Chain A
Amino acid sequence: MAEETESTKTEPLKTAEEEFKKLEITEEEESELKLETSDHVTFMVEASIAMKFGAVQQYLEVSPAASASATAIPLHNVASRELILILEYYRMHDWVDAGERDLKEFDERFLKDLNYEELKELLLAANYLNVEKLFNFLTKSIANIIRNKDVEFVRTFFGIDNDYTPEEEAAYREENAWAGVKFV
């Protein structure tokens, strides 16, 4: 009984994964671009996805030969770990059959799997690659994380050294109370 419920639960996911693979297979015929990350891992990426990366576009503008040749396009500031996540995100969002709800669920899961450090690293990579959709998604998500959090949390999150003395900080809070902004 328990097994049955389990299987029905995972079924949509499974089919999604199969679709995913199917998609990947059909796209094999499509042209691919070779990308090399900062830690020297090469990825073969569908051109349709790679061309969404501003950094790749820019590189190809400067040296168009790279699209056909075997030379890898170097991504100096993106590690393989980030590129994998970025590709995962774009493959899902590029998947024609993905409905709005699927994407929402995917986004939530995607975010949940990242710790704060990974999130920041990914944002840096997205910024370097110039991938707009993911960049906006991440910045918005970070804004949501720090929203309504106390001062100490935000300091830790951004790695800010508090250069106020306790007296200075207390004075600053006092002076700014007039604006109705409460510093928790």
Chain B
Amino acid sequence: MEESFGSNNTDFSACKQKLLKVQETNEGDGTMSKLPEPLINHILSFLPTKDAVRTSVLSKKWIFRWTFITKLNLDDTVFYSPKRKTRGKMNFVNFVYRALLLSRPSRLRSFSLVMTNKYDVSLLNTWISNILIRRVLAQSRVAKLPLFGMLSHLELGLVGCEGITNFDKELLNSAAVPDCLTSTLQVNEAIGADVALNVKDL
């Protein structure tokens, strides 16, 4: 009974301190606990996609580990710094291509694309089509694998503007996306009327 801590034990915190101390002295052999792969993948999914991609440099085993992430957050604001204004756009475009080409469709549960700068409309067309096609593919798998049911939470967080919204809806129709996906589609209209104008002009 001495070693029993329960709800009836009022000196809970003291027990905690004692136990933590005992175990601390048992350490010191320098062994670091290593996390299994699924846990690491889960952690990487909480990183901004750019940071997740960065982990490919950690070791050879890690080169493609980031591709298992479940959330794709493509945000161009992290690519623009006052210092590197000229290359920011190119870097973001290349980054999006890499992320789209390498991330695994079957694992993606959520996706967001945030753009605060101007991009060629055909570029957007390609990206969004790619995502929609992948989603349809992923969706068609849902029927066979109930495990991927969470795919219905997909979010298309396009920043701003009617131009993209309309364009997007047309695309949705032509791509024959199941209703359950279109209903979860969210368009964030917080920023960027000027982006809309640019898209329309193009």
A interface list, Cβ under 8 A from B:
21, 24, 27-28, 32, 40-46, 79-81, 84-85, 88, 117, 120-121, 123-124, 127, 139-140, 142-144, 146-148, 151, 154-155, 158-164, 169, 172-173, 176, 178-183
Contacts and interface: CB of A to CB of B under 8 A. Distances in A.
Interface of B: 3-8, 10, 12, 15-16, 19-20, 23, 27, 32-35, 39-40, 42-48, 50-51, 53-62, 79, 87-88, 90-92, 94-95, 98
Contacts, number: 126
Contacts of A181: 50, 53-54, 95
B5 A84 contact: yes
B95 A43 contact: no
B109 to A, nearest CB: 14
Contact of A124 (B4, B35, B92): B35
Contact of A163 (B61, B87, B88, B98): B61
Contacts of A147: 47-48, 51
Given A84-B16, A163-B59, A173-B57, A123 B35 contact: yes
A148 B51 contact: yes
B19 A27 contact: no
Nearest to A154: B58
Contacts of A161: 59
A179 B59 contact: no
B91 A180 contact: yes
Nearest to A41: B3
A143 B43 contact: yes
Secondary structure at chain A's binding surface: helix, strand, loop or mixed? helix
Interface centre among A143, A161, A162, A173 (most CB of B within 10 A): A143
Contacts of A144: 46
Interface SS of chain B: helix, strand, loop or mixed?
helix
Nearest to A172: B57
Contacts of B98: 179
Contacts of A80: 5, 19
A36 B180 CA distance: 45
Nearest to B6: A44
Nearest to B41: A139
A158 B98 CA distance: 25
Nearest to A117: B33
A5 B59 CA distance: 53
Contact of A142 (B43, B55, B88, B91): B43
A81 B19 contact: yes
A44 to B, nearest CB: 3
Contacts of A124: 33, 35, 39
18 contacts: A32-B6, A40-B3, A41-B5, A42-B4, A44-B4, A44-B8, A80-B5, A88-B12, A117-B27, A120-B33, A121-B33, A124-B33, A127-B39, A154-B55, A160-B58, A164-B60, A176-B56, A183-B54
Contact of B19 (A84, A146, A148, A155): A84
Contacts of B53: 179, 181
Given A143-B47, A163-B59, A178 B3 contact: no
